[in-house]
Amino acid sequence: TTEEEFFNNERHGRALDEFLDIIATRVSLKNFKGYRAGLDVSEQTDCPISYYELYDQKEIMFHVSTLLPFTHSDSSQIQRKRHIGNDIVTIVFQEENTPFHPSMIKSNFLHVFLVVQPVQVLSRTCYKMIIVTRDDIEAFPPMLQRNVVYVRTAEQLKQFILTKLINAEYAAYRCRTFALLQERTRCSYLKTLCENLIEKSYDLLCDEQKRASHRRLSMLSNSTKKRYFSNMKKMFTRSNSTPDGPQPSRKSDQSTTDKERRKNGKKFIRPGKSTNADS
């Protein structure tokens, strides 16, 4: 079986419906309000039906290949592979006993495959289940027993399968591939956080400097106003203390004395020279 054959199945049989009804609830995707796992939930969705389950406070949406949009002109069914190829854990449902190997589906993300095959045991439907993983995935509970089939009507079957799928994803996160991806993602987030913090800090500092500058200008302006009013007050104080009427200036005193001296025939005495009283 090739990857194209996987994704080009247009419909599935009753056996898969019975299995899906055990582990999840059939829901309409139109205006669906829960976790949609990238599926179109608008009024115009071309993927009207899917399977969803809320288990142990975790929302699970299944990407069922035959329920995803089918494109007749695309033999690779890129739209289907875009969903399933980006999952980490997937269920491979085999209606017949056919071999499966992870290399049949090319994906950098798919790391855990739960292979399920229905079998009839004493007229009862049971399931054979095996786990296929990449080499760097460690074992995770609950453990599957060798040569054991699981009865479809068993009460704990749903709990067992969903717990196994959830723990499979947790185990995949611890492998080297996803550890490196998580490290790069964390580094990217931290880098973005630091850049935003630096930008916000710069903006805050600039705003603080602007406010300080405005405060200094405001203080300078108030000081200038105080000096202006102080000078005006002094000017008015001097003006009010001056008596009415013209006051003789020193220059006019000197001029008057000058004329009187000339009129009386007297001369000024210059420093360093003396005159006789008779001359």
**Tell me: the pLDDT tens digits for 40-58?**
999 888 889 999 999 999 9
| Superfamily, domain 3-174 | Rap/Ran-GAP (3.40.50.11210)
Report how far residue 39's alpha carbon sits from residue 32's, in angstroms, rounded to the nearest whole number: 10
The pLDDT score that the predictor gives to residue 178 is 85
> How many Cα atoms occupy the beta-carbon half-sphere of 204 within 13 Å?
6
Mean pLDDT of 130-142: 93
Residue 85's pLDDT band, with cuts at 50, 70 and 90, is: very high
Stretch 128-141: mean pLDDT: 93
What's the whole-number average pLDDT of the chain?
Answer: 81
Residue 65 has pLDDT above 90, yes or no: yes
State pLDDT tens for residues 240-256.
554 444 444 444 444 44
pLDDT score, position 137 = 93
For residues 54 and 24, give the distance between their C-alpha atoms in angstroms, rounded to a whole number.
8
Let me know: does 95 contact 119? Beta carbons within 8 Å. no
Environment class of 112 (CB within 10 Å of its CB; exposed 0-12, middle 13-18, buried 19+): buried
One-character DSSP codes across 86-138: T-SEEEEE-SS-----GGGS--SS--EEEEEEEEEETTEEEEEEEEEE-TTPP
Predicted pLDDT at 1: 73
* Residue from 100, 96, 99 nearest 117 by CA: 96
